[in-house]
Amino acid sequence: MARSLVASSAGIKQARIALERQNLTQMALVNERGIASWSTINNFFNGKPVQRQIFIEICSELNLNWQDIALSPSEEEETQKLTPLDKLWQQLETLGSPTEQMGLVLVKEETLGWRWQTPSRYEKSVSLGSHIRFEINLESSGYLLLIQKDTSGKVWCFCPSCFASQPQLDTGKTIVPQEGSPMTSFPIEGDAGKEHILAVITKDAPTLDWLPQGSDTPLQLEESHLWQLLEFVNESEECQVLYTDYMITAN
């Protein structure tokens, strides 16, 4: 019998929903319910190992079946194959929601200029050699942090960057690259596979040491960057996280 348990991505989402349903916070589990220390509760909600009995007690406090929340042996084996960046990306996704309000739009050669009109749907599969733009529909004004994980597993910050120098945005449709950028669209290069986009929307600029300037080239994010972003999102009361993915196919 395992001495520690780890919550799955789906389990963490269930636990967060249970917290909201009971009008609780993670800190309330520490201070009001006295179940465990803050570091243990934080580990639970970030997919890190927690002592078996405490894991079960947390689930019980949230009226959840711990077996539905914990990683199964097969899931745990798959998780061990993930890179540290992949694990952090998964944890960020557990804090957000999948969305149809964000995605890729395919740019045809004859419409590479700035006055090109976007179609009404997003592509879920594009081929190498295509040209695309990112689009997101904001339900409220705010600061947009847009990051991408490419097929090689590298993570990049595209907003803010020289392709999105104005991250403070109004309600409505936003396209990256923004007008006036060095490029009017992004060429699809590299290897076939799945790519991911994640948007963090806040009222004001997030307090991140590494936050790029609008004139910078896209910043490649390392573990330390994603850890700080994860901590910021966990602690922020006014923060929306959205994510989606798409396939890159060979010609």
Are 19 and 103 part of one and the same domain?
Answer: no
Q: What is the pLDDT of residue 26?
A: 86
Q: Is residue 33 part of a domain?
A: yes
| CB count in 10 Å sphere of residue 219 | 18
Are 148 and 55 part of one and the same domain?
Answer: no
Are 70 and 104 part of one and the same domain?
Answer: no
Integer Cα distance of 13 and 27 in angstroms: 17
Are 225 and 113 part of one and the same domain?
Answer: yes
Are 177 and 245 part of one and the same domain?
Answer: yes
Are 159 and 244 part of one and the same domain?
Answer: yes
Residue ending a domain, among 21, 48, 81, is 81
Integer Cα distance of 145 and 192 in angstroms: 25
Q: Is residue 126 part of a domain?
A: yes
Return per-residue pLDDT of the chain as tens, 251 residues.
557 888 888 898 899 899 889 888 888 888 877 778 888 888 898 888 899 999 999 999 999 999 999 988 777 767 667 788 998 898 898 888 889 899 999 887 545 554 545 454 788 999 999 999 999 999 889 999 999 999 999 999 999 999 999 999 999 999 999 998 999 999 999 899 999 999 999 999 999 999 999 999 999 999 999 999 988 988 887 899 999 999 999 97
Q: What share of the chain is helix, strand, coil (3-state, %, to 5)?
A: 30, 30, 40
The enclosing domain of 59 has a CATH number of 1.10.260
Tokens of 227: 């850890």
- Which residue range(s) make up the domain with 54? 4-81
CB proximity list for 4: less than 8 A, separation 6 or greater: 49, 50, 51, 52, 55
Q: What is the pLDDT of residue 241?
A: 92
Residue ending a domain, among 57, 81, 105, is 81
Are 198 and 169 part of one and the same domain?
Answer: yes
β-strands 239-249, 125-127: how paired? Answer: parallel
Q: What is the pLDDT of residue 113?
A: 55
Are 220 and 117 part of one and the same domain?
Answer: yes
Provide the Cα torsion 139, 142, 148, 154; round to 10°.
-150
Residue ending a domain, among 12, 46, 81, is 81
Number of structural domains in the chain? 2
Q: Is residue 89 part of a domain?
A: no
Are 64 and 25 part of one and the same domain?
Answer: yes
Q: Is residue 113 part of a domain?
A: yes
Strands (E) in 160-238, as ranges, are: 168-169, 172-176, 186-187, 193-202, 219-221
User: Do the beta carbons of residue 76 and residue 6 sit within 8 Å?
Assistant: yes
Integer Cα distance of 1 and 3 in angstroms: 6
Q: Is residue 92 part of a domain?
A: no
Are 75 and 126 part of one and the same domain?
Answer: no
Q: What is the pLDDT of residue 109?
A: 58
